Amino acid sequence: MTSNKKNNSCKFVRISGLLIFLFAVLTSSAQQIPSRPSPPRLVNDFSNTLSTPQEANLERKLVAYNDSTSTQIAVVFVNDLQGTTAADFAYKLGEKWGVGTKDDNGIVILVKPKNDTKGEVFISVGYGLEPYVPDAIAKRIIENEMIPAFKNNDYYSGVSDAIDIIIGLASGAFTAEEYSDEGAEIFILVFFIVMMVVMIVFITFAGKVGKTYSSRHDDSSIWKALFWASVFSNSNRHNHHNHWDDFSGGSGGFGGGFGGGSFGGFGGGSFGGGGAGGSW
C-alpha cells in the first residue's frame, strides 16, 4: 500500500514537472514574438532604427498598396531575435499577427540591425504570394537591394527598395524571371518610364473630358496615379538611384507627398515557411 502511494506520488511529481516545463517553453516562445500592434501598423520599428519621417513614408506606401490590392507587407525591426533564427522569428510573427488576408497574401520583412551581433534580415512569404515571390527571388532581393544598403547603415533605402521590387512582383508589373535576368533590367526601366508617362497623360485627358466627376475625385485619382507611377519606376532603380532623386524625392517614391489613409488591421493570413534570409 505504501509502495503504491510512493509510486503515485512520483508519477504526480513527474507529470507536474513536465507540465511546468511545457508551460515555461510555450510562455518563453510566446514572449519572443512582439504582440500585435495596437493601433495596427504595417511598419513597426522596435529597434528605433528609422527616423519618424522614414517610418511614416514606408507606412503610407504600404497602406496605399494594401488598400489597392489587399496584399499586406509588414516591416518589423527588432534588436534581438531572442535566441531563435530570423526565419523562425519572421514566420511566427506572421502567424501570430495574421499578416495578410484569407487568401494568405502577406509578407513579413524582418530586420535585425547590426549591433553587438551580426545583422540579419528575412523575407517571409505567405502561401498566396509564393508563386510571385519565390525563395530564390526573395534571396536575390535581400542580396541586391537590402544588404548593400544596410552595410552603409542606410536601412530605410534598403527596405524601401525591397518593398518596391516586391510590389512590382506581386502586382504582376514584371515577373520573377524578368527581375532575375540582369539583361532585362534596361527593358524593365524603359517599360516603367513609358507606363508612367501613359498614366500621367491618361489622367490629364480624363480630367478634361470627365467633367461630371467632382474635383475632389479627380485630385484623389491624380495622386493615386502619380503614387503608383513612382512606385513602379522605383521598382527597377536598384542600380539607378541617382536617376530618380529629382523626381521622387529620394528612396520610396513620393514619400511625404502622398497622404494615404490609416491601416485597418491584419486579416488572418497564414505562412508556410517560404522566403529567404541573409546576414552581414
Look at residue 27 in the predicted model and tell me its pLDDT.
43
How far CA 15 is from CA of 24, 27, 124, in Å, comes to 14, 18, 37
Question: Residue 27: what are its φ and ψ, rounded to 5°?
Answer: -65, -45
Mean pLDDT score, 75-88: 95
Residue-range domain boundaries for the chain: 1-32
* Beta pairing, strands 72-77 & 106-112: parallel
Give the DSSP H/E element, type plus range, for residue 276.
Answer: strand 271-279
Mean pLDDT score, 252-264: 45
Look at residue 38 in the predicted model and tell me its pLDDT.
87
11 or 197, which is more confident? 197
Question: Residue 177: what are its φ and ψ, rounded to 5°?
Answer: -65, -40
pLDDT (tens digit per residue) in 107-157: 999 999 999 899 999 999 998 899 999 999 999 999 999 999 999 999 999
Look at residue 257 in the predicted model and tell me its pLDDT.
34
Cell numbers that stand for 177 in this block: 524571371
Three-state secondary-structure class, residue 102 = coil
Look at residue 180 in the predicted model and tell me its pLDDT.
74
Residue 10 has pLDDT above 90, yes or no: no
221 or 270, which is more confident? 270
Look at residue 37 in the predicted model and tell me its pLDDT.
86
Mean pLDDT score, 185-189: 61
Percent of the chain with pLDDT over 90: 41
Mean pLDDT score, 38-52: 95
Reduced 3-state DSSP string for 141-208? HHHHHHHHHHHCCCHHHHHHHHHHHHHHHHCCCCCHHHHHCHHHHHHHHHHHHHHHHHHHHHHHHHHH
Percent of the chain with pLDDT over 70: 61
